[in-house]
Amino acid sequence: MGFIRMDGHWIKGRGVVVMEEEKEERTEGEDPSSPLEPRSSPDIHFVSEPEADPSVSAPLSISHAVPSSSKLEEDEMGLLAEWIGHQLFAYVEALSRMRRDLLQAEEHCQDEVARLQAKTAEVATLREALERERQDREEERQAREEERRSLEESTRKAEAEVTHLAEQTSSTIQRLRKEVLHLMKKLKKSEDELRKSKKCYSEAAAEVAHFRSLQVKAIMDYSRRKANFTKELEESQDEQKWSQKVSDLQKQLQDAEMSHDVQRASWRRQVEEHKGRFRQAADEVVRLQRQLVTRAQLANAQDTKELLALRGTVEGIFVSLGEKTAELQQVKIQLALERKAIADAEAESEVLRKRCREAEAESRHLQLESESSQDLENDDEMAMIT
């Protein structure tokens, strides 16, 4: 009767099962501490009855006290052996399942190790990317800080320039106002003198016109009387008493001539008076012209170009007034241009201030972002360390 060897168990063919301890050692090169190393599948060998081996302990008989002579006991032992065989086969199947599970667990562990290695490489890549991004943000922050400083410097320069322009403009405006007031005073004096001269000239012209009208009236009266006398003389020639009438008419003519001479003498006196008045007015005009020339010469000596036109006639005064008006208009235009330049400079300064404020806000925002990214990076490092 032979024996069946199954993983260190000796099963006898007819109801005798012997078990011996496994004496095989693990081969060299195996790691006894590795829990994932699968055990070898159970080997089933049909061998003949083993010979006595002094190195192997005697097999333990489950029913060593039962005598093999009894038939009943042999049947019971056979049933027991069959039951033990079923149990052994179940044990072998369980061992096979365990071996498959161990292989699957080993593959799963290898996959997990590869995944962890990939995660580690990805974390290293992310660290490098975060470091590069932090450096880029630091460089960008420094660049924006430089730009902000340059904007502040340009803003200060613009403010200083605007202040200087405002001071220059205010001083120029004050100087021009003083000059305009001085010129207006001189122009007012010249206009007063011109009005006086015009008044004297108009009075003299009125007197001359009155004298001319009186002279015209006298000439017309003399012509009328002469015509009447001539008519009467012609009529008296046809009459008989022409001599008396002639004498009367001659007397009347003499009277008329005498009255005409008297009237002519009075007219001459009036003409002389009017001529005297006219000469006085002309002398006054000449005197005023001399005063104007003298004042113009004084103004020329004082390098005042605005009063040079007063040396001429009234048209020259109006021309000078027009020139001064045009110059005043030019001053107003220049003042408006300077005000516009000041407004433009103020607007540019406001734009520069706004840009400076935006740069400061952006710098603060970038600083907060860099701090938050640094905190996140530190949190990630702490999480990876833990």
Where are the chain's structural domains? 248-374
Cβ proximity of 13 and 4 under 8 Å: yes
pLDDT band at 144 (very low <50, low <70, confident <90, very high): confident
- pLDDT digits 0-9 by tens, 154-170: 778 878 877 887 788 77
Helices (H) and strands (E) in the chain, counts: 3, 5
pLDDT (0 to 100) of residue 183 = 77
Residue scoring higher pLDDT (63 or 268): 268
Cα separation, 246 vs 106, whole angstroms: 180
Between 43 and 247, whose confidence is greater? Answer: 247
Confidence of residue 244 (pLDDT cuts 50, 70, 90): low
- Which pLDDT band holds residue 17 (cuts at 50, 70, 90)? very low
Q: Give yes or no for residue 366 having a pLDDT over 80.
A: no
Q: Which residues of 223-252 are buried (b: 16+ CB within 10 A; e: fewer)?
A: eebeeeeeebeeebeeeeeeeebeeebeee
Which pLDDT belongs to residue 256?
A: 57
Mean pLDDT over each residue of the chain, to the nearest integer: 68
What is the reported pTM? Answer: 0.23
The lowest-confidence range among 61-70, 78-87, 100-109 is 61-70
Nearest to 16 by CA among 66, 79, 61, 65: 61
Element (H, E) at 203: helix 71-238
317 three-class SS: helix
pLDDT at 73: 80
- Is the pLDDT confidence value at 193 over 50? yes
Contact 85, 12 (CB under 8 A): no
More confident residue, 27 or 207: 207
Range in 57-66, 192-201, 328-337 the model is least confident about: 57-66
Residues 261-267, mean pLDDT to the nearest whole number? 67
User: Rounded distance, CA 222 to CA 213, Å?
Assistant: 14
- Per-residue burial over 119-135, b if 16 or more Cβ lie within 10 Å, else e, is eeeeeeeeeeebeeeee
Q: Find out whether 45 and 5 touch, Cβ atoms under 8 Å.
A: yes
| In the predicted structure, residue 351 carries a pLDDT above the cut 80 | no
Does residue 348 register a pLDDT over 80?
A: no
Query: Predicted confidence band at 81 (pLDDT cuts at 50, 70, 90)?
Result: confident
For residue 57, what pLDDT is reported? Answer: 40
* Integer Cα distance of 315 and 125 in angstroms: 95
Asked if residues 314 and 194 have their Cβ atoms less than 8 Å apart, the reply is: yes
β-sheet bridge partners, residue 97:
none
Q: Which of 34-43, 170-179, 243-252, 319-328 has the highest mean pLDDT?
A: 170-179
More confident: 386 or 289: 289
Three-state SS string across 88-112, please?
HHHHHHHHHHHHHHHHHHHHHHHHH
Of residues 58 and 351, the one with the higher pLDDT is 351
Residue 291 has pLDDT above 50, yes or no: yes
Give 10-16 contacts, CB < 8 A, sequence gap 24+: 10/50, 10/59, 11/81, 11/84, 11/85, 11/88, 12/81, 14/74, 14/78, 14/81, 15/74, 15/77, 15/78, 15/80, 15/81, 16/61, 16/63, 16/77, 16/81
